[in-house]
Structure 1
């Protein structure tokens, strides 16, 4: 009798053990399936995010502003010729006095005009030697209106016998570029964003954050042409400042 009970107990134990193993296997399989599902979802979601990260648009933004030069520099190159060096130098000295007097009548003080160079050369032809004395003087002023008036009267010097050479001319410079750079960069970036939004609208997407940005060079040119000074030529004090930025935006 005790042997029968013992056999029954062993049989029940084996049945329960087998059942528990089955449940454990099912639980393990369930966990494995769940892990595969979650892993597949995360992998797929990651690929989607990677794909979205590749969606971007590159646009350019432009900013322009008209400014007035605040510095005028007038280079006056002149020469005197004679059969001997002393005579040529005397003529050059007389021209220098005439130039200083010219600027004095226009209201410039003596320090506004300074000598910036001199050169002496000689040339012989059939036994005749000619000496040439070349000199340069420069006017530097922040009085733009007065500088313009001086240029308009430059032929008064020619009438007095001053022989102006190539290299003479007025140049106007805008020196306050750093003061307007931040606003112009912001304006160019805003213009780039506007272009990106139009692109996104046409393609059925939205503009995201900036992926990368590159600032171009600031360019200052004459507002009404390409005047660069030069002989007998007056540069314009009215300038145009221009900058182009390149911006790459994510597309959502």
Structure 2
């Protein structure tokens, strides 16, 4: 009987200890699983490192041979202008000529009031020298004064070297997320632990003057704003 009592006590103590350990494990598991999800933001203003310039023009004439001669003359004038500004030959590309027979598409009295043919062409510039691009764009009147009918004059800037700023911006965005988590933890009398999980948001590039709701656009502005938002989960102790 004594052995039976001792055995019962041993079993009881074992169950009690097991219960305490199980309770402690559950408590630790719950504490380990406590986390908060926050977002981190970083923005950086940079100067564009690439630019393009599209110059479109048109010429009209009733004589087919003359219109091709005038088109070639206009192309050469624009190309000479760009080289004089400082652009390299390999940065300049001449577009093909599109010829339109105006009288084939018109009827009645309107036919008498328009030239027989209209040719359209253009020259495009692609360069890393954005300062030269901006300066040269202000001299477009030189071409207009030479008698060229400019239909489109558009300079576009972009930032291509995203890899050069990406690591730093991700670090800053993560640090910003931790600051937000620490505010949450302080309000709940807790402390912020290690990162549980992190998701990198996409990078967006807009003009430097764009508001937070405008993540794209501003192609004609040289200064760009890069923006990234990360989603980070931190353990809460």
TM-score calculated relative to the size of structure 1: 0.82
Asked whether the equivalents of residues 185 and 191 of structure 2 are also in contact (C-alpha less than 8 Å), the reply is yes
Change (3 A) 1:109 1:30: same
For the pair 1:126 / 2:111, whether they are aligned, the reply is: no
Equivalent in the alignment of 1:70: 49
Please report the RMSD computed on the Cα atoms of aligned residues, expressed in angstroms: 1.9
Q: In the aligned structure 2, how far is the partner of 1:201 from the partner of 1:118?
A: 68
Q: In the aligned structure 2, how far is the partner of 1:199 from the partner of 1:118?
A: 64
For the pair 1:139 / 2:118, whether they are aligned, the reply is: no
For the pair 1:45 / 2:43, whether they are aligned, the reply is: no
- Which is higher, the Rg of structure 1 or of structure 2? 1
Equivalent in the alignment of 1:155: 141
| Number of residue pairs the alignment of both structures matches | 224
Equivalent in the alignment of 2:158: 173
Asked whether the equivalents of residues 41 and 176 of structure 2 are also in contact (C-alpha less than 8 Å), the reply is yes
Asked whether the equivalents of residues 189 and 247 of structure 1 are also in contact (C-alpha less than 8 Å), the reply is yes
TM-score calculated relative to the size of structure 2: 0.86
Deviations 1:18-71 (A, max 9, x none): xxxx22212211121112112211221222223224422111111111111122
Q: In the aligned structure 1, how far is the partner of 2:88 from the partner of 2:171?
A: 42
Equivalent in the alignment of 2:34: 55
Asked whether the equivalents of residues 80 and 91 of structure 1 are also in contact (C-alpha less than 8 Å), the reply is yes
Equivalent in the alignment of 2:226: 241
The answer for unaligned runs of 5 or more in structure 1 is: 1-21, 229-234
Equivalent in the alignment of 1:103: 82
Asked whether the equivalents of residues 221 and 241 of structure 1 are also in contact (C-alpha less than 8 Å), the reply is yes
For residue 175 of structure 1, give the secondary structure of its aligned residue in structure 2.
coil
Equivalent in the alignment of 1:227: 218
Asked whether the equivalents of residues 75 and 122 of structure 2 are also in contact (C-alpha less than 8 Å), the reply is no
Change (3 A) 1:160 1:187: same
Q: In the aligned structure 2, how far is the partner of 1:117 from the partner of 1:30?
A: 99
Distance apart, 1:152 and its partner CA: 0.9
Equivalent in the alignment of 1:198: 183
Q: In the aligned structure 2, how far is the partner of 1:240 from the partner of 1:151?
A: 22
Equivalent in the alignment of 1:82: 61
For residues 17-32 of structure 1, the aligned pairs below 5 Å read: 22-32=1-11
Q: In the aligned structure 2, how far is the partner of 1:42 from the partner of 1:154?
A: 82
The answer for unaligned runs of 5 or more in structure 2 is: 211-216
Q: In the aligned structure 2, how far is the partner of 1:131 from the partner of 1:119?
A: 10
Q: In the aligned structure 1, how far is the partner of 2:70 from the partner of 2:12?
A: 105
